Amino acid sequence: MADNKMGPNLQAGAGFFAKRVQKSLNRAQEKVLQKLGKTMETKDEQFELCFQNLNKQQTDGSRLFKDVKAYYAAVKAMHETSKRLSQTLREVYESDWNGVEDLALITDSEDLLWNDYEEKLNDQIVRTMENYTSQFPEVKERVAKRGRKLVDYDSARHHLEALQSAKKKDEAKITKAEEEFNKAQNVFEEINNELREELPVLYQSRIGCYVTVFQNISNLRDVFYKEMSVLNHDLYNVMKKLETQHSGKAFIIKGLNRNNLTCTYTHADVAKSGTITPH
Amino acid sequence: MAEIGKGVTAGKLASNVQKRLTRAQEKVLQKLGKADETRDAAFEEMVANFNKQMTEGTKLQKDLKAYLTAVKTMHDASRRLQDCLAEMYEPDWFGKEEMDAMAEDTDTLWLDYHQNVTDKSLVTMDTYLAQLPDIKARIAKRDRKMVDFDSARHHFASLQKGKKKDEAKIAKPAALLEMAAPSWAQGLISAHQVAQTNLSYNQAEEELGRAQRIFEELNVELQDELPALWDRRVGVYVNTFQSLAGHQEKFHKEMSKVSPSDQLINSPINLLIYQHNNLKTRPWFVLTCICLLRRLCMLTRRVLPGPPPSRPPPRLTPSPDQRQQHAGQLEDETSVPDANTESTDTALQVKAIHDYAATDGDELELKIGDMVLVVAFDNPDEQDDGWLMGVTESSWMQNKDISAKGVFPENFTQKV
């Protein structure tokens, strides 16, 4: 591949490229031979199981992440609509009505509570899921790499075996093949051992993650509900005060119907007699 | 028939057109300052209030509807998360029934809340607002009738003014006409002229009277109703928000009860942590989770003494020492011999195959056949070889907590 017309960098690049091509060819060859049963694959069924678990774990994790994000969005929507409702109430509230300051205080507190809830949800849950799911692509890449190194390993072994069982042994070639075999074996074993330790641990860690997420959601929600219910009670009382202030102007659902005068009430009638009399 | 119908419609159409023309004419005159309008500042304020009331009410209704939609969405998102958890829950984990029951209770609470707010608050607003368009129409009608009244008034006034002039105008030619008329027609022409003038005059007077009556009727009605309606808005707001606040409070209180955070020990999730606490190596988020929960648990849990320092496990002949390999675990393959290689996270339940009498306060009493749920040691360093920490299933079912846990020799039990 050395072409004197190319510069040194290009030459190096060409060499590297050539090596890659050679590797790919080797692997393809090896895979074909494997399929034809002419070599013994390094069996590793248990690794296969690990890999399946990994996939399931990633799928489950993604789903949970998606649902967690939807939950967070729903919380924000509730906050927004709740806030708008409170704003409108404050706008229609006349300044001479009972409880106008209390109302302001309550609605501000509610807003703070929502913000706090949202923030904590984001930090404790959304971030957690984000970190959890972000580790999978890297692991899967390493699993894929292991697969490639395994093919290299098998290929080197096959080559060595072929040389060793030849009728006319070429010592130089055998030595070289042995070297390559050892190297391939080391590379493979290293990554294989790493993964065989890490994958089960990773799989087990899903429980910790789920537990964290669900327990945190539960805790945050509980705190939020407890404090919110207090504010709800306060608002209820404010409304009661307002009602007392305007008592006698009770709202009758029947409403106005000028054609049917017997159904028309005015506040004067109610206040006067204490009972409702039609006019 | 069709012709009569056509005639009637045509007549009505003509009358409407006439009305509009008259009103338009009147309004122009008023604008040009050539005619005065009936004005009522007080009434105008009432109308302004009414419009404000309608705007406010409409906005509140819109906001309330948006809120209810968000509630529904929140419910769905909450349920989806719960489904996620339920699906991930493996058969050998504890607390599945409790969790399912909690999920159902939560679901019911959401539905009730949404229903209550819809039935009470939203319906109040809807009913209140439904009556407003009719009143708005009546206010508009009153306006039109007012213009009609003004128009009739001016027409009548101009007739009055012109009557005297007319009478003077026709006097001379009428007199001349009279003189030329035959004797039988004497007096008839002038009489006819007078009659004509009087007729239009009377008509105008009648019109005026009618227009005034119509207008006043509407005016008085509205003057009564509008202030009352304006005051009633307070009651509507009170009803709406009082019931909303009430239902919110109820909802939040009951949701807290379904998943109490001050009883962490009892929650199925928490026991799950204890179950899976014993990992060989602990990734950082598991550690965080454990630390966080331990801190929370410390608040409620009684502090139990740790196991006493090393003691040999009682020998039992033959000693059962089978270890089932959970699929997916590669402990056999790893070449690291670890004293604590047993993974209690794979064998969460064990069954006592021999009685064990507790010889110490922190030991667990065993009877043959007892199902024991294995939990983690608070301090893994204190765990002795061959000893596990657990709680009997009956104790767990009874107390819903693991306060009755104790250590027991592993080889007195068998993994299930």
Tell me which chain A residue has its CA closest to the CA of residue B130: A255
Q: Does B10 touch chain A (CB under 8 A)?
A: no
Strands B387-392 and B406-409, how do they pair? antiparallel
Interior CA angle at A233 toward B249 and B118, to 5°?
45
Q: pLDDT value at position B238?
A: 93
In the chain, the amino acid numbered B198 is: N
Cα distances (Å, whole numbers) of residue B112 to A53, A233, B247: 40, 19, 9
Sequence-distant (≥ 6) Cβ neighbours of residue A99 within 8 angstroms: A238, A239, A241, A242
Tell me which chain B residue has its CA closest to the CA of residue A224: B252
CB contact under 8 A, A208 and B135: no
Q: Tell me: the pLDDT tens digits for A25-70? A: 778 776 765 554 443 344 577 788 889 999 999 999 999 999 999 9
For the question of whether the overall pTM of this predicted structure is more than 0.95, the answer is no
CB contact under 8 A, B85 and A210: yes
Supply the DSSP string of B102-167, one letter for each residue. HHHHHHHHHHHHHHHHIIIIIHHHHHHHHTHHHHHHHHHHHHHHHHHHHHHHHHHHHHHHHHHHHH
> Chain A closest CA to B211's CA: distance in Å?
20
> Chain A closest CA to B295's CA: distance in Å?
13
Q: Which residues of chain B have pLDDT under 70?
A: 1-8, 32-39, 163-164, 166-172, 174, 186, 259-348, 400-401
Q: Does B288 touch chain A (CB under 8 A)?
A: yes
Q: Which among B134, B261, B281 has CB closest to A219?
A: B261
Alpha-carbon distance B122 to B101, whole Å? 31
State mean pLDDT over A145-165. 90
Q: pLDDT value at position A66?
A: 96
CB contact under 8 A, A225 and B256: yes
Return left, alpha or beta for A266; rule: phi > 0 is left, psi -120 to 50 is alpha, else beta. beta
Q: CB of B154 within 8 A of CB of B35? A: yes
Alpha-carbon distance B68 to B77, whole Å? 14
State mean pLDDT over A115-121. 96
Chain A contact set for B281 (CB, 8 A): 201
Q: Which two tokens stand for residue B100?
A: 């399912």
Q: Does B299 touch chain A (CB under 8 A)?
A: no
Q: Which of A145, A127, A251 is nearest to B241 (CA)?
A: A251
Give the lowest-confidence range in A102-116, A178-192, B216-230, B261-275: B261-275
Q: Which among A46, A208, A215 has CB closest to B285?
A: A208
Q: pLDDT value at position B328?
A: 32
State mean pLDDT over A219-226. 92
Which residue of B131, B139, B142, B234 to mutate against A (max A Cβ within 10 Å)? Answer: B234
CB atoms within 10 A of CB B308: 14
Which residue would you say has higher pLDDT here, B117 or A24? B117
Q: pLDDT value at position B137?
A: 95
Q: CB of A189 within 8 A of CB of A146? A: no
Query: ipTM of the predicted structure?
Result: 0.72
- Position A256 pLDDT exceeds 60: no
For residue B374, what are the β-bridge partners? B390
Residues 312-331 of B with CB under 8 A from A: 327-331
Q: Which two tokens stand for residue B105?
A: 């209770």
DSSP state of B359: -
Q: pLDDT value at position B185?
A: 72
> Chain A closest CA to B215's CA: distance in Å?
15
For all residues of chain A together, what is the average pLDDT?
82
Q: CB of A178 within 8 A of CB of B250? A: no
Chain B contact set for A223 (CB, 8 A): 261
CB contact under 8 A, A74 and B63: no
Superfamily of domain A42-246 in the CATH hierarchy: Arfaptin homology (AH) domain/BAR domain (1.20.1270.60)
Chain A contact set for B292 (CB, 8 A): 212, 216
CB contact under 8 A, A253 and B127: yes
Q: pLDDT value at position B166?
A: 67
Chain A contact set for B129 (CB, 8 A): none
Alpha-carbon distance A142 to A136, whole Å? 10
Residues 333-352 of B with CB under 8 A from A: 333-334, 345
CB atoms within 10 A of CB A99: 19
CB atoms within 10 A of CB A227: 17
Q: CB of B38 within 8 A of CB of B149? A: yes
Cα distances (Å, whole numbers) of residue A220 to A113, A119, A226, A227, B270: 11, 11, 10, 11, 15
Q: Which among A211, A232, A251 has CB closest to B248?
A: A232
Q: At what angle do helices A136-164 and A171-245 cross, to 10 degrees?
A: 170
Q: Which of A203, A212, A50 is nearest to A130 (CA)?
A: A212
Q: Which among B225, B234, B328 has CB closest to A203?
A: B328
Give the lowest-confidence range in A100-109, A118-127, B151-160: B151-160
B13, exposed or middle or buried, with CB in 10 Å at 0-12, 13-18, 19+? exposed
Domain coordinates in residue numbering, chain A: 42-246, 248-279
Q: What are phi and psi of B363, to 5 degrees?
A: -95, 155
Contacts across the A-B interface (CB distance below 8 Å): 217
Q: CB of B314 within 8 A of CB of B387? A: no
Sequence-distant (≥ 6) Cβ neighbours of residue B127 within 8 angstroms: A253, A255
CB contact under 8 A, B328 and A207: no
Which residue would you say has higher pLDDT here, A234 or B100? A234
Q: pLDDT value at position B124?
A: 93
Q: Which two tokens stand for residue A23?
A: 């590797």
Supply the DSSP string of B381-403, one letter for each residue. GGPPTTEEEEEEHHHHHHHSSST
CB contact under 8 A, B128 and A222: no
Q: CB of B414 within 8 A of CB of B338? A: no
Task: Using a pLDDT cut of 90, give the percent of chain A over it.
Answer: 54
- Position A138 pLDDT exceeds 90: yes
CB atoms within 10 A of CB B156: 19
Q: CB of B258 within 8 A of CB of B109? A: yes
A127, exposed or middle or buried, with CB in 10 Å at 0-12, 13-18, 19+? exposed
Q: Does B214 touch chain A (CB under 8 A)?
A: no
Q: Does B231 touch chain A (CB under 8 A)?
A: yes
State mean pLDDT over A71-75. 97
Tell me which chain A residue has its CA closest to the CA of residue B234: A246
